[in-house]
Amino acid sequence: MKIYKAYKFRLYPNDEQIILIHKTFGCSRFVYNYYLDYQKKNGVKRAYDLCKNLKGLEKEHEYLKEVDSCALRCSIFDLEGGYKNFFAKRSNYPKFKSKFTRQSYRTSCIRSIYKGKEYSNIEIDLLTKYIKLPKLGKIKIRGYRNKDKIEGKIINATIIKETTNKYYVSVLVEEDLSVEKVIPTSIVGIDLGLKDLVATSDGVKYVNEKIIMKYEKRLKRLQRKLSRQVRNSKNYLKTKEKIARIHAKIRNYRKHYLNDIANEIVNEHDIIVTENLRVKNMFKGKIKAFNKRLSDASFSKLCSLIEWKSKIKGKYYYKIDTYYPSSQICCHCGYKNSKLKDLSIREYDCPCCGVYNDRDINASLNILLEGLKLHYDLVSLA
Ligand SMILES: [Zn+2]
């Protein structure tokens, strides 16, 4: 099984390298925007043909030759990807890139063999902590302290300057993994909620972290401050950078937290069952749009983490479509209690069988049972 992993390192370029990185950002953006405009006027072309056209553009604009030519080609393929997503109705029509947001460019890894020795334009040395990148040469990196080698084949590298003014490089690596499916001995159902982020059929709950709320409060205060300051003044830009830093902190914190939850769940169980979020959302009542967006993003991130970790560990992951509200049905007797439409009832005794139920854990048990049915249907088919 081929799997893809992204390794993200902090990058410490010197002054000369910073200048070249910025030139490459500019040139990649120019090429992207140029061909977006070109295709708006002349109709959509294949990236392959646009790359041929790029040669003429490079003659017209000599400065394009100063930067990594792979990056310019990647820009064209990114644009093609944008159009493909648009035609498949996955996203909006591609937009022009601005220089006032997060900056990045991607370059692909090219290997060659010369006199029996293999050469590559992207190389990572985790012992000396350097990365070799096309045109830029060696740059100091930080990250992955516990690793001394990256296994697998490097596919590409993306150089990024975040709005926090820090530089990063994200390296995509292809790894060949032989995974054998485990013989399942344990199963868990997972209910995704707003009050508790996750409730499992084992009775474990993962709360929405308070620390994130603390950051969010600070964020709101800074945003009010920003709105009173003179646009693009020195203090305005300072506040803006502070805001970007807090955004990054929240992002990182959430990422680590979700990763920890997914690790724990996948390490401890062989069959993992969650609800299909699209179906789940039909039953959600009035939730503040902001909170909903945030939790939706967390849920889908968590589910994709669980899916990926299950895959590489040979475990089973099922998303089930519950076309009934799983939290209203008692998992012991199957009685449907419509009083539970009221989301404020967190725990109750079942009026039919008298068993004490915790709302979210009861829901996760129902999810487990559905998943178990599905698993045996699939196993008996195979
Ligand atoms: Zn009952």
CA–centroid distance, residue 356 to ligand 1 (Å): 8
| 293 burial via Cβ count (<10 Å: 0-12, 13-18, 19+) | exposed
Residues 230 and 331 in one domain: yes
Catalytic residue numbers? 191, 275, 360
The tens digit of pLDDT for each residue in 47-101 reads: 999 999 999 999 999 999 999 999 999 999 999 999 999 998 888 999 999 988 8
* pLDDT for residue 345: 87
Question: Does 292 lie in the same domain as 248?
Answer: yes
Helix, strand, or coil here: 225?
A: helix
Query: Given the DSSP bridges, would you call strands 187-192 and 271-275 parallel, antiparallel or unpaired?
Result: parallel
- The answer on 333 and 207 residing in a single domain is yes
CA separation for the pair 322, 153 (Å, rounded): 41
3-class DSSP assignment, residue 101:
coil
Query: What is the rounded end-to-end Cα distance, in angstroms, of the chain?
Result: 20
Task: Evaluate whether residue 263 is within a structural domain.
Answer: yes
Query: If you measure from the C-alpha of residue 317 to the centroid of ligand 1, how many angstroms do you get, rounded to a whole number?
Result: 28
**Residue carrying the six token digits 């040395």:** 125
Position 280 scores a pLDDT of 55
286 CA to middle of ligand 1, Å? 27
In the numeric block, which tokens belong to residue 382?
A: 């195979």
Does 68 fall in a domain?
A: yes
239: CA distance to ligand 1 center in Å?
55
Q: Are residues 156 and 208 both part of a single domain?
A: no
Q: Within this chain, do residues 105 and 218 fall inside the same structural domain, yes or no?
A: no
Which of 324, 294, 249, 10 lies closest to 145 in space, CA to CA? Answer: 10
Place of tokens 């089973």: 316
| Tens-place pLDDT, residues 28-53 | 999 999 999 999 999 999 999 999 99
Bridge partners (DSSP) of residue 101 are none
Instruction: Give the range of the structural domain holding residue 56, as residue numbers without chain letter.
Output: 2-176
Domain end residue (candidates: 140, 155, 176) = 176
- Å from CA of 125 to ligand 1 middle: 60
pLDDT value of residue 357 = 92
Same domain for 147 and 211, yes or no, is no
pTM over 0.85: no
Ion ligand 1, residues whose Cβ is below 5 A away: 330, 332-333, 335, 350, 352-353
Same domain, 167 and 270: no
CA-closest candidate to residue 79, choices 37, 117, 111, 115 = 37
